Structure 1
Amino acid sequence: MAEQFIHQQHAHCESGVTSNLLKHSGIALSEPMTFGIGAGIFFGHLPFVKVSGIPGTTFRIWPGYIFKRVTQRLGLKIHTEKFSNEAKAMEALDQALARNIPVGMIAGVYYLNYLPEAFRFHFNAHNLVVYGKENGQYLVSDPILEGTSQIGYDDLARARFAKGFPEPKGKMYYITEAPDTIDLAKGIKDGIKQTCFFMSSPPVPWFGINAIYTLANKIEKYPEKLTPRQCTLYLGNIIRMQEEIGTGGGGFRFLYAAFLQEAAQYLSHNELGKLSERCTKMGDQWRNFAYSAARICKARESDLVSYKELSALLRGIGDTEKQFFKDLKAVRFS
């Protein structure tokens, strides 16, 4: 029944949804552990993918990946589905709710009218849980909020089929079966291995560490190739993706540091604990970068850095993360 689902606030939407759905299925896993096993940390700069004319930057793995990988690595069975029209998507949701199944889904933030107006903008990769329906209203567990919410049929349907990149296409997902026991140690190790591959191995300049250097090079050339207005918009979008979408660049590093700390305790592995401390410092570096970029956007005179200096800050982050993931990859487990 709806009242059996326990809502818990988390830092990031998909890892929070996954953690809450796991707990509902009898597996108590923290958000940092969920994020780490799901290899959620990432970086990508996609100049060929534009949102409102601005190149895309992402600090997390693509939507749906965390839930898929965590459940796969822990041996849970799941159901995922996309739809061609709103009516079929809403009917499938109602059918799952009638069976007392809490349903995760991807939605466009702009149409989620339970959010404060200042938080509602065109971002189509937000995760939430619908866990029941009462008096024509859907009961929502949105992990970024302290409490639960409600939303009507029309607004939820619009959110599930929001236009723009990426299109949610009514995607919904839920757990169908959970094992009696899980191999958490293997999940941790597999998650770390996957993360190191994603950050260190892609040969293209748009993903992983390479993408950090690519963005640094582009930022240095912004004043030469863009108008002052475009410079502000491009930098502002990087800051928004880092600090406002989910937990962003610095926040994701802090979340991953918490994962490594938990993993160190669970596996009795001191080296992971030391790497956790280094990962926290990486988060601080990203926050300093965002602060400096914001000063440029607001044209503040004090503490103002040049685009060349901002680019150098980002290259420094790239150097730090390159060594960090090299050392994390080299960790040996008994």
Structure 2
Amino acid sequence: MASNFHHAQSAHCESGVTRNLLQNIGVKQITEPLVFGMGAGLFFIYIPLLKISGGPALAFRSVPGIIFKRTCHSLGIKIIRKKFSSKEKAKEELDKKLSEGMAIGCQVGVYYLPYFPKEYRFHFNAHNIVVFGKEDGKYLISDPIMEYPTTMTDYELERVRFAKGALAPRGQIYYTLATEPVTEERIKRAIIKGIKLNVFHMLKIPGAFAGVKGIAFLGKRIKNWRDKLGTEKAGLYLAQVVRMQEEIGTGGGGFRYMYGAFLQEAYNYFQHDELMKLSEEFTKAGDLWRTAAVQASGIYKGRLGSQQDYNIMGDYLAEISVIEKLAFTKLAAVNKQLK
């Protein structure tokens, strides 16, 4: 039996699922940008010694599930999260909650999602969907990056819930519990807390691999890839950068645009003019991330390929690092003034 769940398309899977689950329990004032900002969703890390699918390991998002957890915790909303070693128990628990009329978040693998275009399918296990009912033997699926809800069979859903490899979901489900009304004061405190944590992640994590330092570090490495790896492998590495940046949750430009939208919505709560100005800075960074993606695409598709082209790509990331460092530094100072 289907719950009275409202599907809404979003820019990013986890922030979209979180927004949709909160809306489903009556927290109507929470938008996707607010979720992303309160959950401190903006992140960057590059780990040169680790490889994923033969390419460099890098991430533009926090670890899977943390945006949901942080947002709900900051708003005072209780959550339940479960993983399973048994496929049978995972199905039994999901069906039980659905029979109670609940909407359930699931972490799944992308590769076997039947409704995904083939060109978007690869082994990535940190995608998020909502299962909101079951009719005629099929599960009702709300994938927030899709325009409309869809369905999956028992076998199809089990396959993606128990995908193998890095970040294997292990049948994970998560959901919210009924909550008291979320007040404006609670939202304001959650905004302040989210900004503070995101500032830490982008400016203060030790080492050269994370935050704005990690962006600059990757830029330097890219300049050496052509000579060190050869043109074919260097092109594959750049393809990996673009895939993680623009196809897995819009991590590069898209996340910056969403963070800019978050600051605009934060302005509505605090009326601090600097928030609107900083929103423009993150939009500027987002534009430059998109420009860098076009440059990288030109290299791995063979339209570009000189050392100068790699240098330009590296310089884009260096410039992004400077812009974001300054923006987060200013934001840290503004955040101390918010009340």
- For 1:111, what is the secondary structure of its paired residue? coil
Structure-1 residue corresponding to 2:279: 276
1:156 aligns with 2:157: yes
Which runs of no fewer than 5 residues in structure 2 stay unpaired?
none
- For 1:110, what is the secondary structure of its paired residue? coil
Aligned-partner residue type, residue 128 of structure 1: I
Structure-2 residue corresponding to 1:169: 170
More divergent stretch after superposition (21-30 vs 118-127): 118-127
CA contact (8 A) 2:3 2:98 kept: no
Give the alignment's TM-score, normalised by structure 1.
Answer: 0.97
CA contact (8 A) 2:223 2:307 kept: no
- For 1:225, what is the secondary structure of its paired residue? helix
Which one of 185, 202, 209 corresponds to residue 188 of structure 2?
185
- For 2:192, what is the secondary structure of its paired residue? helix
Q: Displacement of 1:155 after TM fit?
A: 1.4
More divergent stretch after superposition (41-50 vs 77-86): 41-50
Counterpart Cα distance in 2 of 1:292 and 1:116: 25
1:199 aligns with 2:199: no
- For 1:291, what is the secondary structure of its paired residue? helix
Q: Displacement of 1:308 after TM fit?
A: 1.8
Q: What is the RMSD of the two structures over their aligned residues, measured on CA atoms?
A: 1.5
CA contact (8 A) 2:47 2:58 kept: yes
Structure-2 residue corresponding to 1:309: 312
Structure-1 residue corresponding to 2:146: 145
Counterpart Cα distance in 2 of 1:255 and 1:6: 22
- For 1:306, what is the secondary structure of its paired residue? helix
- For 2:177, what is the secondary structure of its paired residue? strand
Q: Displacement of 1:122 after TM fit?
A: 1.3
Structure-2 residue corresponding to 1:220: 223
Counterpart Cα distance in 1 of 2:313 and 2:281: 22
Structure-2 residue corresponding to 1:333: 338
Counterpart Cα distance in 2 of 1:210 and 1:2: 47
CA contact (8 A) 2:108 2:126 kept: yes
Counterpart Cα distance in 1 of 2:246 and 2:313: 17
Q: Displacement of 1:3 after TM fit?
A: 4.7
CA contact (8 A) 2:81 2:172 kept: yes
Q: Displacement of 1:202 after TM fit?
A: 0.5
- For 1:330, what is the secondary structure of its paired residue? helix
- For 2:134, what is the secondary structure of its paired residue? strand
Counterpart Cα distance in 2 of 1:50 and 1:101: 38
Q: Displacement of 1:26 after TM fit?
A: 0.5
Q: Displacement of 1:53 after TM fit?
A: 2.0
Residues 95-106 of structure 1: matches in 2 within 5 Å? 95-106=96-107
- For 2:49, what is the secondary structure of its paired residue? strand
Q: Displacement of 1:210 after TM fit?
A: 1.5
Structure-1 residue corresponding to 2:83: 82
Structure-2 residue corresponding to 1:20: 20
Which one of 298, 302, 307 corresponds to residue 299 of structure 1?
302
Counterpart Cα distance in 2 of 1:152 and 1:46: 37
Counterpart Cα distance in 2 of 1:51 and 1:33: 31
Structure-2 residue corresponding to 1:69: 70
What do the CA deviations read for 1:262-292 (whole angstroms, capped 9, x no partner)? 1012211111111011111110010111111
What do the CA deviations read for 1:136-193 (whole angstroms, capped 9, x no partner)? 1110000001110000111111101111111111111000131223311101100100
Count of matched residue positions in the alignment of Structure 1 and Structure 2: 334
Counterpart Cα distance in 2 of 1:3 and 1:76: 20
Q: Displacement of 1:305 after TM fit?
A: 4.8
- For 1:252, what is the secondary structure of its paired residue? helix
Counterpart Cα distance in 2 of 1:259 and 1:305: 36
- For 1:318, what is the secondary structure of its paired residue? helix
More divergent stretch after superposition (48-57 vs 185-194): 48-57
Counterpart Cα distance in 2 of 1:53 and 1:301: 22
More divergent stretch after superposition (1-10 vs 296-305): 296-305
Structure-2 residue corresponding to 1:235: 238
Structure-1 residue corresponding to 2:47: 46
In structure 2, the CA distance between the partners of 1:301 and 1:55, relative to structure 1 (3 Å rule), is: closer
Q: Displacement of 1:293 after TM fit?
A: 1.0
Counterpart Cα distance in 2 of 1:161 and 1:46: 26
Q: Displacement of 1:211 after TM fit?
A: 0.9
- For 1:177, what is the secondary structure of its paired residue? coil
Aligned-partner residue type, residue 33 of structure 1: L
Counterpart Cα distance in 2 of 1:302 and 1:234: 13
In structure 2, the CA distance between the partners of 1:282 and 1:233, relative to structure 1 (3 Å rule), is: same
Structure-2 residue corresponding to 1:267: 270
Q: Displacement of 1:37 after TM fit?
A: 0.5
More divergent stretch after superposition (20-29 vs 218-227): 218-227
In structure 2, the CA distance between the partners of 1:104 and 1:245, relative to structure 1 (3 Å rule), is: same
In structure 2, the CA distance between the partners of 1:55 and 1:181, relative to structure 1 (3 Å rule), is: same
CA contact (8 A) 1:295 1:303 kept: no
CA contact (8 A) 1:111 1:156 kept: no
Which runs of no fewer than 5 residues in structure 1 stay unpaired?
none
Counterpart Cα distance in 2 of 1:301 and 1:117: 27
